[in-house]
Structure 1
Amino acid sequence: MKKYGVFPTIFMLAAFMLLISPGLAASVEIPGEIFAVGSDELSWDATNWGTMYADLTNNKSWTERLYYENSAGENAEPLGIDNENTIDDGELIYSTSPYVKQYKAMSKCGVLVDEDGSYTLLPWLGQKYVAIDGDATTITKLLLEQGSDDVQTLGAGETWDLGAGYTLECKQVDVDGNKVWLALLKDGKDLDSEILNTDTGEDSDERIFIASADFAGQDDAVYFVTYADQVFQSATDGIVRLKYTWLIDKEEVQTIDTDYSIGVFECTRAEADEIFLKNENSISLNMNDITSLTDDLYFTTSDVDDA
């Protein structure tokens, strides 16, 4: 086990995220690196905690970090020294910054989405959010982003559950004309629809369904994208293959400012290009116990002899 610091230690500290995904019968714990405390600094990011987001192909994405930084407060000794088990207020810090990422329909096929083919992603407490108009203080959850090799097939009359009440319905498939009629719905109500034509070049805008609306103070902002890769005839039905689908929740936009708080954290800095959270009150760590940080993030502690 890798240990940090040169001081004697009395307990081990580990960070966890509790993840509940659709289709899973139970929750899953994602552990971070375990530290033998006794150092002035402890840090978790995507290199040592799988819940912290980073895109391995984009070095600008490594922005999310949770760290403990000892200060000369009421309890001046680092954790683990002289029976010190308190994180003073402001010593536990979470930071993140947004970065620009291309829509896959743009990066893979050259189809222009929005003005420049990109959006701004914000790693946020272990999940992916989108910063509206590039501003990290106005965010909404990225509900779906198909991977580069992901494919969804739909026949006429079939629907695809996209999450958060959004569904995509295949209204009609014209195999002879290589066309498909798709409709986007929210809680069963029509939002938008489009007829796509796959009898065109792969970079044709006739292949792409883009839904936009006025929300979060933006006019005609994109919230849904999908790309018709192929229309074909199965044994019984006309089928469309969809790729590069992307969806954000335009109904649940959050504003992050210095009045914002979540779990033990309060926001101490909210700028378009960075967000900082710090623990508002002191946090006592008890041996062999769980300390909640948010609904999903928590610390566990254990005796060195038991770790």
Structure 2
Amino acid sequence: MKRFVASALAALMLLTVFASAAMADDNNTTSAASTVEIRGPVYNGSSLTDILANSAYGNGTSITMDANKFAAFYYDIDDNVTTESLTIKNVAGTSGRTIGENGLVYKTTIGNAEYQYDDWGNYSVIGFFADKYIPLKSNSADKLAKLVLDSDDKYTLKTGDSLDLGDGYSLQAKQVDVDGNKVWLEFDKDGEYVDDEIVSTDTGDHTWTCKVDDVQGEDDVPVLKVHVNQVFQGAVDSIAQIDAIWLIDYANAIKINSDDEFGKLNDVSINGPTITISNDDTFSLTKDSDQEIGQGLYFKVADSNDLRFYAYKQQTTSGTYDVRGTVVSGTKSYTWTSDNFAGFFYDLKKNVGTETMSVSGVNGRTIPKNGLKYSTTISKVDYDADDVFNGTYPVLGFFAQKYVPLKSTDASKLAKLVLDSDDKYTLKTGDSLDLGDGYSLQAKQVDVDGNKVWLEFDKDGEYVDDEIVSTDTGDHIWTCKVDDVQGEDDVPVLKVHVNQVFQGAVDSIAQIDGLWLIDYANARKIESDDEFGKLNDVSLNGASINISNDDTFSLTKDSDQEIGEGMYFKIADSNDLRYYPYVEQTIGNGTTTTTLSNTSIDNTTATDNMSVTTPVVNNTEETQDVNASAPTNMETPVTPEPAAANNTTETKSSAPGFEIVPAIFGLLSVFYIVRKNR
């Protein structure tokens, strides 16, 4: 008897452990790093020869992208400085989709930019594969260091304070003199001493220029500039106020050699302040591909029989990036489209852009009433999984965001596109696929014959709908439709294509190879009395939205003026009018900020809250409830009513698998009673 009780208790404990493991694994998700793609102008023609001969793109024999056209290239709007260009030339061997030898040329030349602190004058700068560098010598482009900081912000340091400058560099206020006109500063890298200086505020220029030796073989290299505005010796605190800092990452300086190779660009020439790199071999713009040019620069080529492509820079470093349009100088009229504003929505495969913005009638720095016009019109694009989801779906760019209209002829009701993917995902029974924005898809069961799968669609863990998808008949597609989405019924919100189903001896598996999803729960309605920043005169006309400014719009010198919905004009700090539109895109936690600390330097690495852009599988080894009413051979189950948009009510079980514990306990109890009665 005691042995039986002990065995029963042990069995119950094991079952509890397995059920707990299943519940814990339900929350086990992984994150994929985000990227930002910043693109250049789109080129479209029957062949390279056709494109190069088109005077709309270039001079008839070549096309050149500089910072005015290619938003990724380094550009200083205040000083109108651009150093980089990428050119495709009509050389021998260039035809069809092939660029001949030395027909692709990247070139960059040292320029001059003003310090943020004007009294310091100018410093040398060079863009190198769309990153900003500082040449160690102003007349030689072969030795470069990235710019870490160029700031005229104010920082107040008490004695002992450490100012984190970024990339492991820091500045510490060691002491303030008793007369209150000098401060002793120390410059460190990764917590180790580099240099120190006593800076006076009653004589000289109040500036410490720290120079370091043996930086890629160069001595006396200016790596840090600090301007001390004032020093204060109080009864309690000793304070130094810094109002300008400039810093380069000298510890990671690079040297460019003539035998270096940068992707397909492998013929390097260095001539004083200029670097020129071309392709020593032919370069093919293969259909439906991403071809690396070098150092994170790519050509994206359309899946089309016509040759259509653009250059882009793929940013992967955590930070906030300005994705901008073409720079406009003066008061001329100008129109931005997806061809010349990288922020606007664009579909390369179908050559579809829906947005335009124009400016006209500028007088001085003032855009008159209705002089700024934004418009967007519904178009259609292919599903990414176009081999399984036949046809197209409606799409609309709205202030540089991709939306799906709830009705293909009405632009007033929109939902953001969450997912459009032809990736393959393998789900075991109980697995949950995180689709993003709180949506998920669960494989409930696979039938015993291995040709059907029972899927459930959830939002924020709450039931929305379910379906049995067969792979031996029909199109293998589940199109989930939801009612009451901004007043619309039967709105397609999810499409799933099940490629195959497998019933094994150990695992039951479903393979999904097509997913499409909109954020119906946060759908929006555009009204004629809505206002979007400075754009406040809204006109809705079926498939189109037109918005203009009902008041004048000032392009104020050295400012960022919001146009609407996160889209801005950046205006140069210059007496000449110069500006461009841009939107911000962020990777991770955004831009690294300079921080002040009263403690020693913390070298621990912070974890970014990266948004998940790729669906991930939660492998939940869920134990099924033996008492639950499950479909027999996948007969249609009785299910609750689907949750309407913004009104989901049913909550999924938070502890799958625990239902089996009382069931097994009951069986063991019956066995014990029968045995006792014997």
Short-chain TM bin:
0.7 to 0.9
Write the distance in 1 (CA, Å) between the matches of 2:402 and 2:369: 27
Q: 1:69 to 1:175 in 2, by over 3 A?
A: farther
CA deviation map 1:206-247 (0-9, x unaligned): x11211122233332211111112335899744433233111
Q: Could you list the per-position Cα deviations for residues 92-111 of structure 1 after superposition, in whole angstroms to 9, with x for gaps in the alignment?
A: 11100002345556x42366
* Bigger mean CA offset, 287-296 vs 44-53: 287-296
3-state SS, counterpart of residue 483 of structure 2: strand
Deviation at 1:272?
0.9
Contact 1:3 1:36 in 2 (8 A): no
Q: Which residues of structure 1 form unaligned runs of 5+?
A: 5-9, 13-22, 71-75, 78-83, 112-116
Q: Letter of the aligned partner of 1:35 in structure 2?
A: V
One-letter code aligned to 1:49: F
CA shift digits 1:58-90 (9 cap, x unpaired): 24x3321112121xxxxx63xxxxxx1122232
Does the C-alpha gap of structure 1 residues 236 and 305 become closer, same or farther in structure 2, counting only changes over 3 Å?
farther
Matched residues, percent identical?
A: 32
Aligned equivalent of 2:356: 65
Matched to 2:428, the amino acid is: G
Corresponding letter in the other structure for 2:480: A
Cα 1:222–1:276, aligned 2, differ >3 Å: closer, same or farther?
same
Do structure 1's residue 252 and structure 2's residue 522 form an aligned pair?
Answer: yes
2:545 is aligned, of 270, 275, 297, to 275
Q: Distance in 2 between matches of 1:247 and 1:64?
A: 22
Q: 1:94 and 1:152, CA in 2 relative to 1: closer, same or farther beyond 3 A?
A: farther
* Structure 2: distance between partners of 1:24 and 1:190: 37
Alpha-carbon distance in structure 2 between the residues aligned to 1:285 and 1:37: 11
Local SS of the residue matching 1:137: strand
Q: Please say if residues 330 and 578 of structure 2, whose CA atoms lie closer than 8 Å, have aligned partners that are also in contact.
A: no
Give 1:37's match in structure 2, choosing from 330, 355, 362.
330
- For residues 196 and 11 of structure 1, the distance between their equivalents in structure 2, rounded to whole angstroms, comes to 61
Greater relative contact order, per chain length (Cα 8 Å cut-off, separation 6+): 1
TM-score, structure 1 normalization: 0.75
Per-residue deviation, residues 121-170 of structure 1 (Å, max 9, x unmatched): 11111111122222112222222211xx4233333322222233221122
| Structure-1 residue corresponding to 2:369 | 89
Cross-structure match for 1:208: 477
CA RMSD in angstroms comes to 3.3
- The aligned residue for residue 114 of structure 1 is none
- 2: distance between equivalents of 1:235 and 1:68? 67
1:11–1:291 distance in 2 versus 1, CA, 3 Å: farther
Instruction: Give me the whole-angstrom Cα distance separating, in 2, the residues matched to 1:228 and 1:219.
Output: 25
CA distance in 1, matches of 2:461, 2:320: 29
Is the alpha carbon distance of 1:35 and 1:152 closer, same or farther for their aligned partners in structure 2, counting shifts above 3 Å?
Answer: farther
1:297 is aligned to: 567
Q: 1:240 aligns with which of 510, 528, 537?
A: 510
Match of 1:51, SS state, is coil
User: Is contact 1:96-1:275 (8 Å) kept?
Assistant: yes
- The question of whether the paired residues in 2 share the 8 Å contact of 1:172 and 1:181 is answered with yes
- Aligned residues of 1:175 and 1:232 also touching (Cα < 8 A): no
Structure 1 residues 11 and 301, CA, compared in 2 at 3 Å: closer, same or farther?
farther
Tell me, yes or no, if the aligned pair for 2:447 and 2:503 is still in contact at 8 Å: no
Counterparts in 2 of 1:174-185, with a 5 A limit? Answer: 177-185=450-458
Number of aligned residue pairs: give it.
267
**Highest CA radius of gyration, 1 or 2?**
2
Match of residue 220, structure 1, among 467, 487, 490 = 490
Distance 1:193 1:145 in 2: 20
Aligned to 2:167: none
Q: Using the alignment, how far apart are the partners of 2:360 and 2:551 within structure 1?
A: 15
Residue 128 of structure 1: aligned partner = 402
Distance in 2 separating the partners of 1:305 and 1:31: 17
* 1:234-266 Cα shifts (integer Å, max 9, x gaps): 997444332331112222332223211122212
Aligned to 1:150: 423
One of 556, 573, 589 as aligned partner of 1:286: 556
Picking from 328, 333, 344, the partner of 1:52 is 344
- Verify the 8 A CA contact 1:159 1:167 in the aligned structure 2: yes
Alpha-carbon distance in 2 for matches of 1:24, 1:227? 34
SS in 2 for 1:293: strand
- The one-letter code of the counterpart of 1:66 is M
Aligned to 2:436: 163
Does 1:109 find its partner at 2:382? no
Counterpart residue identity of residue 282, structure 1: T
Contact 2:326 2:341 in 1 (8 A): yes
- C-alpha distance after superposition, 1:264-295 (max 9, x if no partner): 21243101121111123322222232222234
Matches of 1:269 and 1:231, distance apart in 2: 49
Residue 74 of structure 2 is matched in structure 1 by none
